[in-house]
Each structure stands twice: as structure tokens, then as C-alpha cells.
Structure 1
């Protein structure tokens, strides 16, 4: 069976799907609203778990899979839970949660570099400066773009992110809500000089910091062997640099903990807002925030999707944040989008061989995606609420639990045995 797929949005999930379909010989086109491949790149680290890695391995051509592996962070490190005074609560050794096989491993990767890898090889099907307006469903689906052009497809996949225009037309009742949490994130560049300013623990691997109550802090290093910009743009700001090593950090708390006017603050003011909150913490955290360039510091309003009841399958579907946008507190949003791409690709390949119709392929995808996608939304929201919990007793009990698990190695091994799956 021959059919054509139009993907609206050139993000992680949409590009992964495009590669998988193209490798299978299925006609596909991607429409991205950015004018160039570097226009809206985000310069922070993203964590890919074995689900995300397996999806990339399955969908990418071998050459790009190898390039992905080569550009991941060269320092994995143990995952450690710390107090705000840098006391260690629990350590998850890297061998407990990862695998030497890159397909089944956890990876840290620059969002910029990942986007460059995923954009490669799609030059003939990836169309930039195409802002989607609306679609019409007739015998085929007709997509309209702001520049006055149109495109026809047998299936349209909305992969256009949390503010998806495809979703707004397709499922107008599907909503995202504000959790009331605000996170401020930045990048601490790693150079010969700055490495001397913080303890090795903050460079060795990711850390979740548990202050007494009301807020949380996360750090994760990204070590480059060298790396390269793709050369399509000259970008000087550290936020968009994907050639230098750094530690990504994020402070999160309820909006009411910050001073008024947070949403209007620039990088310098956001830095001061975090420093006011952590002034009594270990000096290493203060130095990390202080020495982070103001241009790398950004504010994030933490949103989450609401559960959507099953909808009738049609020639339009959704993928990734366009349907199950979640908080970043568990680091599973990109992985869930990649899982979507892998599943939908498999089903559409089966349809191309005549094993099922395209409608059946999409229906099977949507039924399964709704289950694991919204489960990810719920667990991510729970993690966000715990991250900023005002419950002093609960925070104290959590620290005690971490210490207990750390003191019983067999228990810790059993608890994290499934992290490699």
C-alpha cells in the first residue's frame, strides 16, 4: 500500500518518525515553522533513557545512529541525591541504571546536537519556514500554511509541540494547565578555571538536591570531546553553544516563593532571584549560579496536559508534546515522544506491507500511546509536586528513606534492576 505522511513540526519526535518512515520507503514530508535549522535551538542537556535510545536506534539510519552515540556526553557518572549542604543521601551507581550497550543505555546529549543529528539526511523532505494554519479533511488531508501554500497527505501527524495548532483544531477540548511551579535554569561552563570552583561531585554526574522544603535543585554535566557546530549559523551566546562542556542546573519552586514580576525578569535578574533563594546553601551551589553567564539563564513556567478521553481515529493524529505535554521533572518528555515515533512508525510500516490499513495502524498507535503517554504525564506531575513540596515532614522522611536504601546495597540493587529495561 502506498500513502503519504505529512508531519507538522520538526522537533525530536517528528524528525525521528520521518527518518523511520523514510528508511522504510514511505513517502513523508516535514513542515517546520523555523526559518532555519538553528533558529530556535535550545542549548540545554536532555536525558535519553533506554526507551528513547531504542527508538532512535530503530528509526535512524546506521550512520546517524553512530553519530548520535559519538556526540553524547562522555561523562555519565553516578546519580546522587544530595542535601543543600552537599551531604550525600543516596548514590545510584551508573552500573545499576545503565548498560554498556548504547541501545539499552542512558545518554546525556545536547539538544542542539541531537537536533542537528536528526535533521541530517532529511534535506529533501524537511521544509522550513512553514507555519501551519489549519487543515481540511476530504478524500485526503489538505494542510494550509501562513505563506499561502498548501500540502496534501493521506495522514497528518501533529508533532508541533506543547502549543500545537494541529491539536487545537483536532482536539479543541484538550488542555494544558499551569502547575504553579516556576523553574529557572542556567549553564555553568566547564573550563580549566571554572572546574576549580566547584567540588568534583557536581561535575562527575547528575544530582538531585533536596533542601529542607519548598524547592528543589538539579544539576547535570555535559562533557564534550570536542564537538562541532553544523556551520549553518554563527552563534556566540553560551546558551546556543554545543562545542563547550558545561553543567546544566535548574532551581524550581512554587511561583509564590519568588518576588513579583518574575516573568518580566532578564537573565541577570533571574540569577539574582535564585541566589536570594540559595544564599544559605553550600557555597558550591552559589558559585555555580554566580558564574553562569546571564545569557544562559531562562525562566520556565511548568505546564502539564490534562487526560484526554479516546477520540475517533481519523487521518489526523498527534505525537509527543502535542498530545501529552508533561513537566520536565522526570526527564521523560523527549523519551515519550521518541517512543511515540517508534510505535507509529512500526504500525505504518506494517500498513505499507498490507498487514493493516492506515486507519488501523493509527488506531492501534493511539490506543497504546494514550496509556503510556498519560501515565508519563501523571508520574511527571507527581515528581514535580514532590520536587517543590512544602511538606517538611514528608521531605524529612524522604531523606531518611534515601539514607536507609543507601545503607542496604541489596535493596538498592533490587530497586534499580529495572532501570536498564
Structure 2
């Protein structure tokens, strides 16, 4: 690894902790974030040439604090300066422990910052954007490109999110709210990963940068909560799913379904790590949705050939999953497993039961088309493939669905 790459990795790891330390101390998100960005730029220029400081995080906090002080001193109007100083003065809700206690900046600031970015007052889209910006360290332009929106639109979305959380105490939720708030954090990380693994729109099926960022952030959360089964299960699910990414597309970007993938291209190291995490997650308490989904992914990944897949066990796990949460997409996955165990006609009956909940969703029609094709109904399959292709914004999925329809016999 080159020194420049080492510095980049170090900065990305420390950035949320530095931002969290400043927000905790001063209680002003925007000003603190600007100061941290300047400190990161200074480090990116100096560290590759001069070498790493003995305490990189402390160096960044010190420089960012100076930049924040410089920003206050540069205010031209005295009244404006006094108002800004007042706004940035540490308040009880934002300060570290009371006098007499000492608290150094810690890894816990990353988790606290995640809780802030995933605050319930924000919409899911705003939670994702603010998390990628403040905790992930992505630029506004990078986030905009990932979501296929203009940079100005994304900047406005992030700015509104910051305004909504302004004044929110920088502290972890009280114990009675913590589980619910952690669930929101994990859901946001899951959304980021899903958008990276299978983009909902655009030219590319897979956005590796988003998927990798979701995995990195989930690893950070697990480092803070190593015995939290939901976190371990989510990380396992991400690793086991992303392990197949190299085999999911062909040389021209075309989608390759799971049963047709070249399994020699799957990442066996990621599969081994993910499978070990599944076993660990299932031992850490009652199995939740992430743990069960990870166990399903492990069964797929551990089959050497598509025909070796343990579908009865997968169906049993889906039965557990749909009991945990009323999720129509989980029920759609169960319908596929049911068809693989009991035949395509039985699976179609399960699909019909989901019509009201998933009407118009391209995945419902795509699964229906696949089962109709297996059941020997090419006309019905062709029509379903056409409806599915008309309902998705993902160009690789459109091409795949049209190709499946075109190869059916007349």
C-alpha cells in the first residue's frame, strides 16, 4: 500500500470521529464540518510528504479547532461575531461530561454521529445523504452521482437535513430509545448497500463505491457493538451478497441471474468471513431479520452448483423471516423458494397472493414471468417480462427482461 493510499484510508476512518468531537464540543454541525474538511485537506497535503503524526486523530482535531477559531475571528462585524460565538458556545446538551470528568474523543463519536444523521425527524432519503456526507466522508458531488441527481439538488437535500437536526443534542439516545434508533441506523446502512448492490436506476447494475462504503460503515458500527446480533448479521449479509458481485454482470454489463453465474468468480474470502459471522450472529441472541437473511445468503453462497442449493432449508428460513417482519419483498423471496421446492405452479399461487401489496412493482412481474416460463406458458411469461421491463428504471434490468422475453418460443 502506498503512503498516499494509507493516508486516504486513515483520513476516511478518522473523519467521522473528528467531526463528532467538534460537534460534541461546539454543537454546530455546519461550522464544525467546514473546519474538519479544511483539516482533512491540510492532512492530505502534508502527511504523504512529512509522514504521519504520532496521534493522527488528535492532529486533525487540533487543526480543525484552529480553523473553527479562525472562522470566528474572520467575521467582519462585531455583532455578527458575537452572535456566532454565542451560537457556538458549548451548551449543556452538547458538552462532554460535567466538570471533574474527562472524556477524550473516542470511537463512540462515530456511533453518536450516525444516530444524529439517522434522526427520526429526517426522511429516509435525507438520512442516507447526510450519513454518506458526514460519516462516510463522500463529497456532495459523489453522493449526487451515486443517486443520479444534480449536485445542486443533493446539496440542498443535505443542507435541509442539517437544518432539521440543528440544535439536537449530540449524545447517544437514552437506553429506552436506543434499540429503536439503532434499528434506523442499520436500516439506513442497508438502504445504502442495496442501492450500491443493485442500483434502482441508471446505466449500471452495481455501484461498487456505495456497496463498499456501506460495508465499511457497518464494520465501524460492529467494532463499537461487537456483540449486537443485528449488526453482525447485517455485516454478514452484506459480505455474502457482495461476494457474488463479480459474476452478476457479463462483459457488456448485462445482468446474469444467480443460477447462471460462474461461481468460480465469487469472492471465497468474503464468503468465508460472512459465513463465520452468520454463525456468530445466530449465537448472539434471538435471530432477527438481518441474521435470517444472512443465513439464506450463506446457503446460496456455499452451494458449489445451482442445483446443489438447499432450497427446503432456504424455504424454512424464509418462513422464519416473514414471521419476523411484514415485508412483501421477503414474501416474494419466499414465493421463489416455495416454487423451487413445490414447483412453479405452486409458486405462482403464492405470487398471486402478493398482487395487492406489490402491484406494479417490476420484481413481482419478473418473478411471475420466470415461473410462467418454467411452467410452460411462454405467452404469459412474455407479457409478464414486458410489464416488468416497463416498470424498472434500471437499464441492465430492462435489457435482461427484454432478452428473456425475446428468447421465448412464439
| Pairwise TM-score range, normalised by the shorter structure | under 0.3
More helix by share: 2
Of structures 1 and 2, the one with the larger relative CO (CA 8 A, separation 6+) is: 1
Question: For the pair shown, which has the larger CA radius of gyration, 1 or 2?
Answer: 2
TM-score by length of 2: 0.25
